[in-house]
Chains A and B, each alone.
Chain A
Amino acid sequence: MRRRGLDQSDYYRGVRMAPYDLVKELAIALVAVLAVVLILAGVLSSPDEPPVTIQSWAQHAPLDLVATATAELQGQTISSDYGPPYNIDRDAVDHDRPAGASVQAFGPIAPQSWAGVHIPITAASSDVLHPLQLASASDPKLAQALLRYRAAARAQRSTWLSRYAAELGHAHMAGGLPVIADPAAAGPLPTMMATLLLVARSGGLDGLLLQSGHFYQTDYTGPLLFLGDGRYLPGLAHAQHLLGDQWGMMNETGRYPGQAWLWLYTLWYQIPPYSTASNADLLVVLTMGVLSALLLLVPFLPGLRDIPRWVPIYRLIWREHYREARRRPRG
């Protein structure tokens, strides 16, 4: 017993057949598409904007790097209190909340927390203190500053950090180093951050941030989170129209098409309630999941599967067929 429509000899009974060369059609398509691709590649090339390094960040926006490193120590960057999968949101724990400010939830459902901390990141340690510790081996002044910082009470460190962060708002660069009005009020931080900046500018911090205890390295989670915490990387992205509110996910650097097929995904970020929701990412992903399921199940969904009959585009698709049917004598 064959299912209806699956036996081609039955299905095509009474249908006029015509010669057809599948292999020739594919060969012609391969040559034609290759020709178009080669023309586009030859004339338009392809985008390749060089990556940002910690070194280039230190050279082009040194105060932003120092401010970001200070904020990492304060625990006030995106990655420092991100929550799963990178770390536990301390603020949420302290205030007995199920999910931190960075953890997106849909009502009581917070899938971000389900798998816990799988990729441990402690930004203050990995981005600032650990690199400085390594650099202090040949720098007694830095070693002393680090010792003072680590030995200080939490409240004292917090005071130094707050004052230094405030001073950075009015700082300027002189001799390649940040100059603040009252360095004494910031304790050891001016010494620590000056060294961090020097190491970063030399390119050393790029390597130190990738230290994982292995010789080979392919995981850039730490450095990318650090770059993302600053203003330099988003500033460059803004200039290239790549931010979320600039339809960023479907744009590309330069004047090239990007992932245009993400237009619907990107669209939601531009309109309320998605554009103003604190859990916008989760809402957009859920919405796209539902829409993808609808697309998948179109053959079974009344209404969606009937639209092609209501919109007579099929008459254009099979125009010759219908024209021939009209010409055919009735009987």
Chain B
Amino acid sequence: MAEGRRAGGSWTRALRRMIERELPTEHLLPDQEPAYVASWVYVFGVVAIAALVWVMVSGVVLAFFGPQWWHVSPQGHVVNSIHFWSVQLFFIFMVLHLWGQYFGATWRDGRATTWMVGVVVFLVSIGTAFTGYLAQQNFASQWIAVNAKDAINSTGAGAFFNVLNFGQMYGLHVMLLPIVITTLVAVHLVQVRMRGVVKPIETEPS
């Protein structure tokens, strides 16, 4: 009886049981999926993640060598080019993924929060890219900062989010926002694996 109380009161066991129940390894790393998953629309999510991986890898290299490196080093410029095009592809794939999920109405059958986390990833990615453009230390950064300050200031946020402050924008871009995006993408993936891929529209349970 005392044994049972101890087991029932263990937060660690409770967490382990919840993970085993909600996300067993065969769901986390499935070796089979519904046959309808063999559709081009599912490719966009995977390639978006692949592009994000290369955004992160190239971003880590750029951050390691510092914000001025890529302006003066040919090797740095190549890494910046990889970062630049990875970001462009990430957004293209993410938007295609978003539209694909919208027209499949994939929030059905208890998947609304999966959709919502995905939208938040999209919005945070826009903010992250924006701080990246501000942290480039070139003419584009100068002009975007001067031009964008009015919109940020009009909301009152400019008092705390100063687009003209390179140090603040750089810190947000290389540290805080990548952590937020990585965490949200991980949550999004876990949600997808927990719930499985939604059925095609006309075959859903009534």
Contact = CB atoms under 8 A, between A and B. Distances in A.
A155 interface: no
A119 interface: yes
Interface string B27-56: 101111111111101010011011101100
A104 B149 CA distance: 12
A295 to B, nearest CB: 5
B172 interface: no
Q: Is the interface of B mostly helix, strand, loop or mixed?
A: helix
Interface residues of B, number: 94
A15 B110 contact: no
A290 interface: no
A23 B146 CA distance: 45
B156 interface: yes
A299 B107 contact: yes
A165 B153 CA distance: 30
Contacts of B155: 111-112, 282, 285
B190 to A, nearest CB: 13
A320 B39 CA distance: 8
A42 B81 CA distance: 8
A243 B155 CA distance: 21
B39 A84 contact: no
Interface in A6-30: 6, 8, 11-12, 15-23, 25-26, 29-30
Given A221-B162, A308-B201, A319 B39 contact: yes
B109 interface: yes
Contacts of A44: 81, 85
Given A219-B165, A296-B116, A51 B139 contact: yes
Interface stretch (A68-76, A190-198, A249-257): A249-257
B138 A17 contact: no
A248 B147 contact: yes
Interface stretch (A33-41, A58-66, A125-133, A166-174): A33-41
A52 B142 contact: yes
A218 interface: yes
Interface string B158-178: 111010111110100000000
B158 A112 contact: yes
Interface of A: 3-6, 8, 11-12, 15-23, 25-26, 29-30, 32-34, 36-38, 40-42, 44-52, 82, 84-85, 104, 111-116, 118-119, 218-221, 224-225, 227-228, 233, 236-237, 240, 242-244, 248-249, 252-253, 256-262, 279, 281-282, 284-285, 292, 295-300, 305, 308-309, 311, 313-314, 317-322, 324-325
Interface of B: 27, 29-39, 41, 43, 46-47, 49-51, 53-54, 70-71, 77-78, 80-86, 88-89, 91, 95, 100, 102-105, 107-112, 115-116, 119-120, 123, 126, 129-130, 133, 136-148, 150-151, 153-156, 158-160, 162, 164-168, 170, 194-196, 199-203, 205
